[in-house]
Amino acid sequence: MYEFNYHKPASLDEIANLLAANDEAKLLAGGMTLLPTLKQRLARPSDLIDLAAITSLRGITDAGDAIVIGAMTRHAEVNRSPVVKQGLPALAAMAGMIGDPAVRNRGTIGGSISNNDPAADYPSALVALNATVHTTKREIAADNFFTGMFETALEPAEIVTAVRFPKLQIANYQKFRNPASRYAIVGVFVARFPNAVRVAVTGAGPVVFRVPEMEAALTQNFSPDAIKDITIKEDGLNSDIHASAEYRAHLVGVMARRAVAACG
């Protein structure tokens, strides 16, 4: 690990000033990706800005027709929250599938989506549930937030403050997980709205993506049989030691049908 300056600011204004003064600074949320990267000397920030003391970034709020989750809220808190379990049970269940207990009790929703690992779970939830990302500068629709592998629409010095999820009862997330890391080799989140269905896939490609053919078929007939003949092209999908692009393409269909069936 290289030497760096450590800061633990008490306000968002203080964070903004630190970022403006240090081009090579990095924000520390849960640290589940950043700290191992620093230990391996794969990153060399001049300053590390710890968000842990910013209480306004934590918490889960029932906003009537939506649930608002602060950026520094831990995965375990989302998983256990009565508010999330009642208003958006699929999201609570998904949070319980992330990593292992250590990751769930340290990792944060804001850190996860800002890092945008191609195998992370939360991006599929945000896109399928048509969530909105709140930042220190604006609001960003989930469809526009995730732009590429480890890339988002966030501008320099822009910080995620919360995520707003519409409440929804008919939704489910299924993933084929890596047995070691528990990251999604392929994960599919299906969400049924009154007039439409959204299907979001993580793990299969460089960035989360939707499947319009499945969405159209499920809008007409919400059943696993409605999508059993839809094939996913393997072009552009991830291929590594864990799974080939062809296998991931196959898994998208399998996980999608399981998610639809689990919606009951």
CATH number of 23's domain: 3.30.43.10
Task: Annotate 67-100 with b (16+ C-beta within 10 A) or e (fewer).
Answer: bbbbbbbbbbbbbebebbeebbebbbbbbebbbe
**CB 29 within 8 Å of CB 51:** yes
Residue 154: pLDDT above 90? yes
Residue 20: pLDDT above 90? no
Chain segment 101-136, per-residue pLDDT in tens: 999 999 999 999 999 999 999 999 999 999 999 999
- The reply to whether 194 and 213 lie within a common domain is yes
What is the Cα–Cα distance from 52 to 141, expressed in whole angstroms? 26
What is the Cα–Cα distance from 126 to 204, expressed in whole angstroms? 16
* Residue at which a domain ends, from 146, 166, 186: 166
Indicate the number of domains in the chain: 3
Would strands 139-141 and 146-148 be described as parallel, antiparallel, or unpaired?
A: unpaired
Chain segment 156-208, per-residue pLDDT in tens: 889 999 999 999 999 999 999 999 888 999 999 999 999 999 999 999 999 99
Parent domain of 15: 5-50
CATH number of 109's domain: 3.30.465.10
What is the Cα–Cα distance from 138 to 3, expressed in whole angstroms? 33
Chain segment 23-80, per-residue pLDDT in tens: 899 999 988 888 889 999 988 999 999 999 999 999 999 999 999 999 999 999 999 9
- The string of DSSP codes covering 66-113 is EEEEETT-BHHHHHH-HHHHHH-HHHHHHHTTSS-HHHHHH-BHHHHH
Query: 3-state class of 162 per DSSP?
Result: strand
What is the Cα–Cα distance from 182 to 160, expressed in whole angstroms? 25
- The reply to whether 187 and 233 lie within a common domain is yes
